[in-house]
A and B are shown apart, each in its own frame.
Chain A
Amino acid sequence: MNRCPSESQWEAFVDGDLSPARCRDLAAHLAVCGRCRSLVDDMLALKAALDSLTEPEPPPTLVGSVMGRVRREPPPQRGVHLRATALHALFTAGVVAEVAALVLAAVGITPQDVAGLIALRWPGLFSVLTGAAGLIDALADALGGPRGWEVAVGILRQSPWLWPASLALGLGFLLFIRRYRAPKELG
Chain B
Amino acid sequence: MALDAETLLIERCQAGDPEAFAALVRRYQRQVYALAYRLVGDRAEAEDVAQEAFLRCYRSLARFRTGQPFGPWLYRIATNLALDHLRRRGRAAAMASGEPPPTAERTAGPDEEALRREDQRRLAAAIANLAPEYRVPVVLFHLQGLPLAEVARATGLPLTAVKNRLYRARKMLRQALRDQDNEATGRCRDEQVPVREPVGSLR
Q: Which residues of A contact B (CB under 8 A)?
A: 7-8, 11-12, 15, 17, 41-43, 45-51, 53-59, 62-63, 65-67, 69-71, 73, 75-78, 80-81, 180, 182-187
Contact = CB atoms under 8 A, between A and B. Distances in A.
A81 B62 contact: yes
Nearest to A82: B62
B173 A46 contact: yes
B16 interface: yes
Nearest to A66: B54
Contact of B59 (A48, A51, A54, A73): A73
Among all A-B residue pairs, the 9 with the closest Cβ atoms = A56-B101, A185-B156, A75-B16, A45-B202, A58-B33, A50-B142, A76-B62, A55-B34, A78-B62
Nearest to B61: A76
Of residues B34, B37, B63, which shows the largest number of chain A Cβ atoms within 10 Å of its Cβ?
Answer: B63
A42 B202 contact: yes
A180 B64 CA distance: 11
B101 A15 contact: no
Interface of chain B: mostly helix, strand, loop or mixed: helix
15 contacts: A8-B163, A12-B163, A41-B201, A46-B177, A49-B123, A50-B123, A53-B142, A54-B103, A55-B103, A56-B43, A58-B29, A58-B47, A63-B25, A182-B73, A186-B136
Given A55-B30, A56-B103, A183 B77 contact: yes
A104 B135 CA distance: 53
B138 interface: yes
Interface of chain A: mostly helix, strand, loop or mixed: helix
B177 to A, nearest CB: 7
Contact of B18 (A15, A17, A65, A70): A70
A57 B34 CA distance: 7
Interface in B54-71: 54-55, 58-59, 61-63
B9 interface: no
B129 interface: no
Contacts of B25: 62-63, 66-67
A69 B55 contact: yes
B18 A71 contact: yes
Given A15-B148, A63-B22, A49 B119 contact: yes
B80 A186 contact: yes
